[in-house]
Amino acid sequence: MEKFLLHTCCAPCGIAIIDELKSKYDLTVFFYNPNIYPEEEYLKRKAEVIRVCEEFGVPMIDMDYEIDKWQEIVKGKEDEPEGGGRCPICFGLRLEKTAATAKDKGFEIFATTLTMGRNKKADIINPLGLAIGKKYGVKFFEEDWKKDGRQEKSAEFVKNKNIYRQNYCGCAYSWTVAE
């Protein structure tokens, strides 16, 4: 089976995808999300991804929480709305780290769960993934995960397994306090 590295942003976006890919590929989940704020939230989302991986028997690579690096690269874009100019930079950082790790560790394919998000446009994320894949010489698995009933499948998993689902994208600028 081909070695597949799946960047996973959170358990609700990842679970149906991990379930779909785990029998088709030699799958490893990759957790690199330095955009998430505050750290308590980062740890909460990561713990849920770990729980899913353990349950499905899929290994996970846990990267460092490089929030300072993330802050640095989005400097000047703090006031952009979600879906504006800050987001492609945020996607790019995470995709680049995934591709670099895939290359380094001998993975043949990499992908991201990001297009599962309702507000995450595949026509922004997929071209970025393809360009970064080309740069690193690793195949990018192009998909719009929100299609073909996967969002519904994900919602079912979240409900049945009582998985934590956040109410904001991730960064401090998208943060709304839960009611």
Site residues for ligand SF4 per CB under 6 A: 35, 82, 86-87, 90, 169-171, 173-174
The CA distances from residue 120 to 49, 81, 149, 156, 171, in Å, are 19, 13, 16, 20, 14
Going by C-alpha positions, the residue among 177, 161, 172, 127 that lies closest to residue 16 is: 161
* Complex with ligand SF4: residue 43 or 55, whichever CB lies closer: 43
Handedness of CA 76, 169, 24, 54 (dihedral sign): positive
In the bound complex, what is the minimum distance in angstroms from residue 102's beta carbon to ligand SF4?
21
Which distant-in-sequence residues (6+ apart) come within 8 Å of 13 by Cβ?
113, 114, 116, 117, 145, 154
In the bound complex, what is the minimum distance in angstroms from residue 88's beta carbon to ligand SF4?
8
Secondary structure of residue 87 in the 3-state scheme: helix
In the bound complex, what is the minimum distance in angstroms from residue 35's beta carbon to ligand SF4?
4
In the bound complex, what is the minimum distance in angstroms from residue 100's beta carbon to ligand SF4?
19
What is the residue whose two structure tokens read 């991986």? 53
* Complex with ligand SF4: residue 139 or 146, whichever CB lies closer: 146
* Complex with ligand SF4: residue 85 or 149, whichever CB lies closer: 85
* Complex with ligand SF4: residue 17 or 58, whichever CB lies closer: 17
